[in-house]
């Protein structure tokens, strides 16, 4: 079975989202051209997506409203920053993720969304089952490799990348020295990289 790297899957995903991309491109052009109605169009195109994504990640409707407002304020006040290096929808996704992560960090930990938690109705209709299935398989392989790690390495990895704690905090929590934490993480990453040669790991 051919493996799909994250980069390939993303390319497929984005290629199939051409409708959103085209709409975004014309909206940005219109906003920059001074059309005040264009921002409303952008709002209507992304409002439900941002709001519902925030509800899904936070599990709290009131907080999701705050996040939605923050995202649109950032998009509105900083659209001049948008350089077109990525698609607008990816830029908005980056802003949304960052605001959500900051909020979750203040709560005391980032909750990772498992691919198993993604309901079928959450898959874009035009994405097709194949990229999603391949993403599930890739995540399954990563999860299985993490399960096979020695206990301490797995724990360090979860604290560092699951809860996004810094090295000092992990050392305090586990009673290990910072060097010992770094060493465990290094060994865990090396083991994972050896077990998953075809995957692009962001660790």
Partner 1 sequence: MSERAKQRERTQQSRGGLDARRGATFWDGVEREIEALDVADFALFMGADRLPFEPRPAFAHALSDCLASLVRSRWSN
- CA dist 99 and 70 (Å) reads 8
Q: Which CB atom, from 58 or from 170, has the smaller least distance to partner 1? A: 58
Residue 174 CB-density burial (10 A; 0-12 exposed, 13-18 middle, 19+ buried):
middle
Q: Which CB atom, from 122 or from 144, has the smaller least distance to partner 1? A: 122
Q: Does 33 bind partner 1 (CB under 8 A)?
A: no
User: Which of the ranges 118-126, 151-159, 163-171, 183-191 carries the binding residues for partner 1, by CB under 8 A?
Assistant: 118-126
Residue 153 CB contacts under 8 Å (≥ 6 apart), including other chains: 184, 185, 187, 188, 191
- Length of the chain equals 203
Number of residues in contact with partner 1 under rule CB under 8 A: 59
Of 21, 28, 56, 183, the residue at the interface with partner 1 (CB under 8 A) is 56
Q: Does 61 bind partner 1 (CB under 8 A)?
A: yes
Of 15, 25, 29, 78, the residue at the interface with partner 1 (CB under 8 A) is 78
Q: Which CB atom, from 7 or from 151, has the smaller least distance to partner 1? A: 7
Q: Does 145 bind partner 1 (CB under 8 A)?
A: no
Cα dihedral 36, 41, 44, 47, rounded to 10, equals -70
Q: Which CB atom, from 26 or from 177, has the smaller least distance to partner 1? A: 26
Q: Which of residues 84-113 bind partner 1 (CB under 8 A)?
A: 86, 89-91, 93-98, 101-102, 113
B/e letters for 10-22, b = 16+ CB within 10 Å, e = fewer, are: eebbeeebeebee
Q: Does 196 bind partner 1 (CB under 8 A)?
A: no
Q: Does 76 bind partner 1 (CB under 8 A)?
A: yes
H/E/C letters for each residue in 127-146?
Answer: CCHHHHHHHHHHHHHHHHHH
- H helical segments located in the chain: 6-15, 18-32, 37-58, 61-78, 88-107, 129-148, 151-157, 167-174, 178-195
Q: Which spans of this chain sit near partner 1 (rule: CB under 8 A)?
A: 6, 9-10, 13, 17, 20, 34, 36, 39-40, 43, 47-53, 55-56, 61, 65, 68-69, 72-74, 76-78, 81, 86, 89-91, 93-98, 101-102, 113, 115, 118-119, 121-125, 127, 131-132, 135-136, 139, 202
């Amino acid at each position: 079975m051919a493996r799909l790297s994250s980069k390939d899957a993303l390319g497929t995903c984005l290629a199939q989202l051409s409708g959103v991309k085209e709409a975004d491109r014309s909206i940005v052009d219109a906003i920059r051209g001074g059309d005040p109605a264009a921002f409303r169009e952008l709002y209507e195109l992304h409002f439900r997506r941002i709001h519902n994504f925030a509800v899904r990640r936070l599990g709290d409707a009131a907080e999701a409203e705050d996040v939605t407002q923050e995202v649109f304020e950032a998009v509105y006040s900083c659209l001049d920053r948008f350089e077109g290096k990525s698609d607008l929808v990816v830029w908005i996704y980056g802003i949304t993720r960052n605001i959500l992560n900051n909020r979750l960090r203040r709560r005391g930990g980032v909750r990772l969304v498992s691919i198993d938690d993604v309901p079928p109705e959450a898959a874009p209709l035009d994405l097709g089952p194949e990229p999603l299935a391949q993403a599930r398989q890739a995540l399954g392989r990563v999860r299985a490799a993490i399960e096979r790690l020695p206990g301490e390495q797995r724990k360090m990895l979860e604290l560092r990348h699951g809860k996004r704690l810094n090295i000092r905090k992990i050392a305090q929590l586990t009673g290990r020295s910072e060097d010992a934490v770094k060493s465990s993480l290094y060994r865990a990453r090396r083991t994972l990289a050896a077990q998953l040669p075809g995957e692009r790991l962001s660790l």
